[in-house]
Amino acid sequence: MKVLKRILCAVLALLTSVVPNLLLRLNIPRVAQGQKVDMSQFALTWHDEFDGDTLDRTKWGSRWWETERKGGYWHEDMVSVEDGNLVIRAEYKDEPLKLSVQNPPDWVKPYAPGYYTGIVTTENRFEQCYGYYEVRCILPAGTGLWSSFWMMGEGVYNVDGFGDDGTEVDVFESMYYKDHWRGVDAVIGGIHYDGYGPDSKGDSIGKFFMENDPYTEYNTYGLEWNKDAYIFYINGVEAGRISTGGVSDNPEYLLLSVEIAGKNGVANADRHGVDKITKTPQKNWPVEFKVDYVRVYQYKDLL
């Protein structure tokens, strides 16, 4: 299987070099083959290697108020640190988990039986404008769910036709497990701005393959953010760049998450896979998103 995948990656790389935009137009995954990231221009400003046995709460928080998320629920109990990794699990719960805060506002939705997973964020703890951001991780292997390393700021909700006041940047999203042949084992990267309503806008670098199995082996996903563009990297090789709407010049915080496809807490894989999500035991469940490290750098000339 690995040999066949390497052959496929080589063919796709050849097609990309001959007709650069063909695979993007056809929505077929490509192979990153741009220039390598130049780390000599950066200095490390923030990182977490997850070397302990508990989550460092000075670096990461949870979004307890956002209980229901797409087709499942986010809960802090689904997050742990084990064997040098941040681990975010996805699992079906017949008995709902309890909210970790007392007397929540009325608008916080209660938990119910369903699929549970988690999120961590540096919101109110760390944010930065520009620089290089990288995660090393193993993706969760489950139909209809996806992991993500992304960045946010309050300016994302400004509806003014531009992204320079704030842009959601998805360094990667892994939403193509067991998808059709145009998406299997691929990740996607992109941006969103002008909120999440009818005026929402965005762009994408398209889908990209890794030569190894991203569900059992580590890969790195990085983003270089400067005043001119967002440049996306896979294993240190450029996959694409975006400047649509204008590049954000406001600091943003980091997020690591797993989400379940669906709506109103009801799982349904139609959006991100060909199979329905089922709680019937599978060899991969409970599913895990394993993060070896997150590292943030700044341009030396901006320090």
Q: What is the pLDDT of residues 1-55, one digit of tens each?
A: 566 566 666 666 665 555 556 555 556 778 888 999 999 999 999 999 999 999 9
Query: Which whole-number Å values give the CA distances from 133 to 196, 226, 260, 296, in the listed order?
Result: 24, 12, 25, 5
77: left (phi over 0), alpha (psi -120 to 50) or beta: alpha
Per-residue pLDDT tens for 140-179?
A: 988 888 999 999 999 999 999 999 999 999 999 998 887 6
Per-residue pLDDT tens for 203-249?
A: 999 999 888 889 999 999 999 999 999 999 999 999 999 999 999 99
What's the fold here for domain 34-302? Jelly Rolls (2.60.120)
Q: What angle do CA 64, 288, 267 make, to 5 degrees?
A: 65
Model confidence, pTM: 0.90
Per-residue pLDDT tens for 244-283?
A: 999 999 999 999 999 998 889 988 876 555 456 765 555 5
Domain map (residue ranges) of the chain: 34-302
